[in-house]
Amino acid sequence: MSRGFFITFEGGEGAGKSTQVRRLADHLRALGHDPVLTREPGGSPGAEAIRDIVLNGPPERWSPVTEALLMYAARRDHIERVIRPALQSGKVVICDRFADSTRAYQGAGGQVDARLIDTLEACVLEDLKPDLTLILDLPVEKGLSRALSRGGGEDRFEAKGAAFHQRLRQAFLDIAAADPARCLVLAADRTPEAVGADIIAAVGQRIELADV
């Protein structure tokens, strides 16, 4: 076994990503794998410190361009300290959000110039790309209702308004359409069991091909 397998979960607020990340990890452990679970922004000590300042406070605390720069600073540390070492040791890495979220949230949602995001992505990611991206999709109103009902902090993005969230939902669908070999869109307005079954089927096919 050489390189591991990199799975990312994407989607709007309240899509159920965290639940499905845990379900998939449990399934892989039952099959004898030892997956690495991580998240963005965050995943390493330095990136978690950046997460705290990005996700908390009023919606206007940072401009979208500043958010993008902070996200990619966190992402670089995360890649260097967690993701690349895990993949190089042959692990399955499951990440709750990755670079597609910056394209959706700061790019489409915040209307940051795509050329800036392209440049940041090329410099920070280099040759790293997810093997499989699972995009959980559901209507914006339903997702925001779910997200707001769970309470807690880290709610800067939930407070940005429905128009912002409509733009990022469409961005995720556009990302999937542009890269169908990597991305799979799953309807998230179903039971966790139904969504999870589709995820396990998709991952099982890909990991078997990757010989992880």
CATH label of the domain that carries residue 31: 3.40.50.300
| Other C-beta atoms lying within 10 Å of the C-beta of residue 140 | 19
Q: What tokens does 25 get?
A: 């990890």
SS3 144: helix
Q: What pLDDT sits at residue 1?
A: 40
- Give residue-wise pLDDT tens across range 127-148: 999 999 999 999 888 877 776 6
Q: Which of 122-131, 156-165, 188-197 has the lowest mean pLDDT?
A: 156-165
The pLDDT value given to residue 46: 97
* Predicted structure pTM score: 0.90
State how far Cα 47 lies from the chain centre: 14
Q: Which two tokens stand for residue 208?
A: 């078997």
Q: Report the C-alpha gap between 157 and 55 in whole angstroms.
A: 7
Domain containing residue 74: 5-210
Counting every residue written for the chain, the total comes to: 212
How far apart (Å, rounded) are the C-alpha atoms in residues 143 and 154?
15
Query: What are 32-78's pLDDT values in tens digits?
Result: 999 999 999 999 999 999 999 998 888 788 999 999 999 999 999 99
Please provide the average confidence, as pLDDT, over all residues in the chain.
90
Which pLDDT value is given to residue 198? 96
**Single-letter residue type at 170:** Q
186 forms beta bridges with: 136
Give the pLDDT score at 145. Answer: 76
Q: How many domains does the chain have?
A: 1
Residues 6+ apart with CB under 8 A from 37: 21, 22, 25, 94, 96
The residues that bridge with 204 in the sheet, in sequence order, are none
